[in-house]
Amino acid sequence: MAETGTKPRIKSVPKTAKRPLHKVILVNDDFTPREFVVRLLKAEFRVPEAQAAVIMLTAHTKGACVVAVFTKEIAEEKANRATELARSQGFPLLFTTEPEE
Ligand code: TYC
């Protein structure tokens, strides 16, 4: 910004410093069908088909994959909701959360 000599009247509050983000992580298993994982990612995390397929395949081959990043409460809520939805359909699919470094 140009040096005008005027001070900002509104102090900015560094909210992000107090609210570290948390990752929602998709964990692989041997039972949940690939198509179900993709459908759930699309429905619960609003990711497009192609991205959902990449996330699913990454978890499938590497063991886990980051789906998205949110504040702690939202990440936990979304991970629990998605896990419960899968369990309600009889699949052992698991979403976990962890703080972003
Ligand atoms: N491994 C599963 C299968 O072969 C598919 C799958 C992918 C399951 C990713 C979970 O997080 C997962 N049917």
Q: Summarize pLDDT for 7-54 with one digit per residue, the tens.
A: 666 666 665 566 789 999 999 999 999 999 999 999 999 999 999 999
Judge whether residue 3 has pLDDT over 60.
Answer: no
Atom in ligand 1 nearest the alpha carbon of residue 34: 5
Q: What is the pLDDT of residue 101?
A: 81
- Confidence bin at 1 (pLDDT 50/70/90): very low
More confident residue, 12 or 60: 60
For residues 94 and 16, what is the distance between their CA atoms, to the nearest angstrom? 28
Domain spans in the chain, listed from the N-terminal domain onward: 20-99
**Is 82 exposed, middle or buried, given 0-12, 13-18 or 19+ CB atoms closer than 10 A?**
buried
Alpha-carbon distance of 38 to 56, in angstroms, equals 6
CA 22 to chain centre: 8
Residue 82 has pLDDT above 60, yes or no: yes
Distance 6 CA to ligand 1 centre (A): 58
Ligand 1 centroid–CA 92 distance in Å is 10
Ligand 1 centre to CA of 30 (Å) is: 6
pLDDT for residue 20: 85
- Residue with CA nearest ligand 1 atom 2: 30
Of residues 3 and 96, more confidence is placed in 96
59 pLDDT above the threshold of 80: yes
pLDDT of amino acid 6: 64
The answer to whether domain 20-99 has CATH 3.30.365.10 is: no
